[in-house]
Every structure is written in structure tokens, then in C-alpha cells.
Amino acid sequence: MLALMQKSVHIRVMIVSITDEVVAIYPKLRVLALSKTKNLSDAEDIVQDVMAKVWENPTKIEQAITELGTSTEAYLKRAVINRFIDLKRYGKRFKDDEDFAEKLEESVVSDPTRRGLLLRDFLKHLTKIGDGCRELLIERGMGLKQAELAEARNLTQSAVNKQIAKCLKQLHERSGGIFHEA
Amino acid sequence: MKREDFEPDDLQGMLIAYLDNQLVGQEKKDFEDLLSRHEDLQADLEIYKITSSKLTELFDMDGVETPLSVEQKIRQASAFGESVLQSSQTPETERAIFEPSEKIASFAAAKEKRSRFFSFQGITQMAAALALGVAIGPGLMDQLKSSDGDKKYREALKLRGTADLPEINDTSAELADRTIGVSELIAPKTNKDGIFIVRLPQTDSAEAGEASNRLSVGEKIDIYFYPPRDGQVTIKYEGFDKVGDLQLSETLVQETPSTELNDRKYEVPSFKVPNVSKLDIVVDISISDSELITYEKSFVVN
């Protein structure tokens, strides 16, 4: 009986904890998916699929997170990327939203101060540096590790480092180094 | 460490590795020494540092919150997930305490049973069920009663309109362009026929193509499908681990089916389910250079 109660309490604690984390991280997952699909509806579908997986078997997810020694946030971000790759592999075609840049801006920046406006401007430049660089820098900005970035692209870590350097320089030049002067 | 020993691109990559603390020990010291001698590299490092930190700040998304409507949906799905999980943990004996046929022999026994009924777990389950009922209302409860196990998750998680989602056996040509959510049981792209799997020993009720998308590690299965036309057949197995990394990729058969085969039924030699979490089976039938028919089927492996 005691064991049953403990199990029940454990489930409750686990569900509450995962739920809170999922609620907190939802906007980031949506942006991560949007940066890859360039289509808001498809991005939301991807996040929805990932979440459905979570509620399908939260115990399994918790176990996987523990085994991998990662965080729920990192795990879910990885799941979003994997889901995108799966869909691409299955031949899914994503149609770019014409106002993709605006949708990304609205999803990422809510701060109406001058700093927020600068970040918004910075993001605008980020949307114009090409799909490969945009995806790479957004994933890096979201905290994905080099090893994960390399794995998702079938590259070595040093190749990814070179690509990151190239993209960062491109973004810096395009944005006119706004933050160096700010 | 000399600058001439490296290509310019390699040096830029090393700057990123240095910035992200990937260089350690002697390599790090040597690189720092090289950096101290070249101002242009220092300037590049500064650019990478500032631009990276701004990207981190940007995608930290401070102040951006999940819309309330979405949060409610997530919490509904979570409550549903919990109630399913909690009830699966309850043994049969606990669930059947107050069956009418049961006789209570003594007051002590009745008291004990009452205390078991009002256990913490029982109250948790009742509260979860009540909260779920109040929060999502009868409309959604009807959806949860659906016999399609995956569909109920999808419906409970509906974050936006899914009225146009195809059913899993939808055979429309544009199926490949549409997301069908978690219940991708079978997704023939161009033909209503798909891949069928029979567990060994064969029984009529065990056809995975009908109802199940679950297999067990080590289980032996027979696979068959009905090629709509003759062509070169390639069958590919792809196994993934829990986080979706590719663990196995194997092309088993490559030959041309004959129309003399049992009513065009094409059978693949028995296959043992490998130790993966997810198994995808992809059948490509190449009719000509420009015509390719693909069947795909995904299985969860326990």
C-alpha cells in the first residue's frame, strides 16, 4: 500500500514537473520548429507531435532524460529537430510563410524597450542570412551543443565550428555590428 | 603553434572552439599564445563573442510566455496522461474493492477497506478525474472515449484547428504533404495498399497492418505487400533509438516481383525485430526512371 502511494506521489510529482517545464519551454520549441520549417502551422504541428509523445508515456521520457543525463528542455529541443528531420525524410514539403520573418519576430521578442527594438533589428538580419546559417545560429542561440549541431548535419565538430564562424561573421557584417556600438 | 600551420578557415573554427571551451590543456595554452600575437584574431574572437551572446540573449526569449489557451490545452493533456498512468498502476484488487458481490465479514475489515478507498492515491485519482472533467467538459470526454488510442492524444492536444487532418487510412494523393500527427500507423503515398505484417506464428488477429503499430524486440515477423505494378523493389529497414538517432539501416531485398506471385502478393523473408525503440520499414517500387511508389510504415518497438 505504501509502495503504491509512493508510486502515485512520484507520478504526480513527475507529471507536475514535466508539465510546468513544457508550459515554460513551449514558445522556444515553437520558435525552434519555425526556424526550420519557415511555416508557423507546420511548426506548431511539430511541437504538437512532440508533446503528444511526452503524454503518451511520460515515465519513458523521464527515464530517457535520466539515462542521457540531459535536461527536459534539451531533450524536447532535440525531439523537435528529430521530428523535423523525420518529416523531411518522409518527403514532407514545407511551404514558406510569406511573412515568416514577421512571425519569427513576433514569436521571439516581446520587450518594447530600445533594447528590445535592437534585438528585433538583429533578428531581422538573422532571417536574411540564408537558411543554413539561420538554422545553425538559432540552434546555437538556443543552447544546443556543438556535438548535437554536428550530428544533425552529418558533419564533424570542427566543420561545424568553421560554419558557425562564417555565419557569425556574416550576421555581424549584415547587422553593421549594432551591439558593438550599443 | 604557428599561424602558418593552419588554413584561415581552420583558425576561425578554432576561435569558436576556444570560445566554447572546447580547447583544453596544452592545446588551449598554445592557442592563447597564438592569439596574443595576432590582433586580427583577437578582433574576430570579440565579434564571435558579442554576436554569440546576443544570440543567446535573443533566444532566451525572456518575457515571452505561452499563450493561456495553449497552456490550458497542455495542462488538460497532462491531466489526461496522468489519469491514464495512475490507473495503470492500480492493481485489480484495489480497483474492485466495492464490487456489490463482495461480502464484508467484520467491522474491522470494512474499516480497513474504507481507509483503502480513501487512500491518498484514490483521492489523487478522483481529484484528477474531477479536474479533468470540469476543465475539458463533455465534448472532449467524448473524444477521449474514442477507440483509437493515438487519436485521443492528438485530440486532447489540439493546439489549433485540426479539422482538416486526414484519418490514418486516408488515401488521398496529397497525404504526403500533410502532417498526420502521432498516429502515423501507415502512410502509403500513392496507393491504398500498404505494407502488412504478420507475427509468427501466424494468426488472423495479429495483423499489424490492421490495428497495431507495436512490435517486440526479437519478435519474428513476416512482411508482405501488394505491388500495384511490376518494378524494382527495394526494402529498407531503419531502426532508431529512444532519442531518434539512427541505429540501424539495412536494405534487405532487391529484386523484381513477378506477376505470377500469389495474386501479386509480394512476401519478404521472415525478419527478426532488432533492439531499437522505433522501426521504420520503407518499400520503394521503382516502375521507371520517373515513377516511384513508396510505402512507409513506422513501428514502436517495446
CB–CB of A45/A82 below 8 Å? no
Q: Which of B57, B62, B123 is nearest to B90 (CA)?
A: B123
Q: Which residues from chain A sit within 8 angstroms of residue B159, using beta carbons?
A: 44, 47-48
Minimal-distance CA residue of chain A relative to B278: A86
C-alpha distance from residue B79 to each of B46, B73, B202 (Å): 48, 10, 39
Contact A15 B71 (CB under 8 A): no
Q: What residue type is assigned to position A171 of the chain?
A: L
- In three state form, how does the secondary structure of B30-72 look? HHHHHHHCCHHHHHHHHHHHHHHHHHHHHHHCCCCCCCHHHHH
Contact B61 A53 (CB under 8 A): no
Q: Which of A18-22, A140-144, B129-133, B184-188 has the lowest mean pLDDT?
A: B184-188
Q: Which residues from chain B sit within 8 angstroms of residue A164, using beta carbons?
A: 13, 16
| B61 Rama class: left (phi>0) / alpha (psi -120 to 50) / beta | left
Which CATH class name applies to A110-181? mainly alpha
User: How close B136 gets to chain A, by Cα (Å)?
Assistant: 16
Q: Taking 90 as the threshold, does the pLDDT of residue A179 lie above it?
A: no
Q: Per residue in B123-164, pLDDT tens?
A: 565 566 555 544 444 444 444 444 444 444 444 343 333 333
Neighbour count for residue B257 (Cβ, 10 Å): 20
Residue among B16, B121, B158 whose CB faces A165 most closely: B16
pLDDT > 90: what percent of chain B? Answer: 11
Residues forming CATH 1.10.10 domain(s) in chain A:
110-181
Contact A26 B10 (CB under 8 A): no
Asked if the interface predicted TM-score (ipTM) of this complex is over 0.90, the answer is no
3-state secondary structure of B23: coil
Q: Per residue in B227-245, pLDDT tens?
A: 666 667 777 778 887 777 7
Contact B52 A158 (CB under 8 A): no
A75-79 contacts at long range (C-beta below 8 A, 24 or more positions apart): A75/B243, A76/A22, A76/A25, A76/A29, A76/A50, A77/A25, A77/A28, A77/A29, A77/A32, A77/A142, A77/A143, A77/A144, A78/A144, A78/A148, A78/B243, A78/B244, A79/A50, A79/A53, A79/B243, A79/B244
Q: Which residues from chain B sit within 8 angstroms of residue A26, using beta carbons?
A: 66, 70-71, 74
CB–CB of A161/B16 below 8 Å? yes
CATH code of A2-89, in short, is: 1.10.1740
Q: Which of B209, B215, B210 is nearest to B196 (CA)?
A: B209
Q: CA–CA separation, A3 vs A39, rounded Å?
A: 48
Contact A162 B176 (CB under 8 A): no
Whether the predicted model's global pTM rises above the 0.90 cut:
no
Residues forming CATH 1.10.1740 domain(s) in chain A:
2-89
Q: Taking 80 as the threshold, does the pLDDT of residue A86 lie above it?
A: yes
Q: Which of A5-9, A72-76, B188-192 has the lowest mean pLDDT?
A: B188-192
Among A29, A62, A71, A90, the residue to mutate for chain B (most B Cβ within 10 A): A90
C-alpha distance from residue A127 to each of A105, A121, A131, A148 (Å): 9, 10, 8, 22
Q: Per residue in A37-82, pLDDT tens?
A: 999 989 998 998 888 888 777 888 888 888 888 888 888 998 898 8
Q: CA–CA separation, B282 vs A89, rounded Å?
A: 11
Q: What is the mean pLDDT of residues A150-172?
A: 90
User: How close A161 gets to chain B, by Cα (Å)?
Assistant: 5
Q: Which residues from chain B sit within 8 angstroms of residue A107, using beta carbons?
A: 64
